[in-house]
Amino acid sequence: MEIIFTVTESTLVAELLGELDHHAAEGTREKIDKAMDNYKVSGLIMDFKKVSFMDSSGIGMILGRYRKLGEKGLKIAISGCSPSVRNILNMAGVFSIIDYYQDREEAVREMNRKEVS
């Protein structure tokens, strides 16, 4: 699993590339947590556009970030899932607690708009 980080306004975008399975989940968690500590941002967008496969370990990684960021009062969103990944996350109930956006641009726009409100 490769991760490309960018900061847009006050939001960290983590573009995930590859398979998010039990082999990759722990390393992904560590990289995202380290990036969140290094950049003083108000939220995280996980862009799944280039994730080809995800299992329950990926769901656990997402929910762990949701919990950790929520404890700090930070926002989290998901963008750009393939139909199969989106279906997995939807069935797991992830989208009932984390906002989903079609693409990262929309996610950044909406997260920054919510900041101003």
How much is the pTM?
0.94
- The yes-or-no verdict on residue 36 having pLDDT over 90 is yes
Domain residue ranges of the chain, discontinuous segments joined by +: 2-116
Question: Per-residue pLDDT tens for 79-94?
Answer: 999 999 999 999 999 9
- The yes-or-no verdict on residue 116 having pLDDT over 70 is no
Query: Residue 55: exposed, middle, or buried by beta-carbon count in 10 A (0-12, 13-18, 19+)?
Result: middle
CA–CA separation, 69 and 2 (whole Å): 21
- The yes-or-no verdict on residue 75 having pLDDT over 70 is yes
- The yes-or-no verdict on residue 107 having pLDDT over 90 is yes
Architecture per CATH, domain 2-116, reads as 2-Layer Sandwich (3.30)
The β-bridge relationship of strands 43-54 and 11-20 is parallel
CA–CA separation, 40 and 38 (whole Å): 7
- The yes-or-no verdict on residue 117 having pLDDT over 50 is no
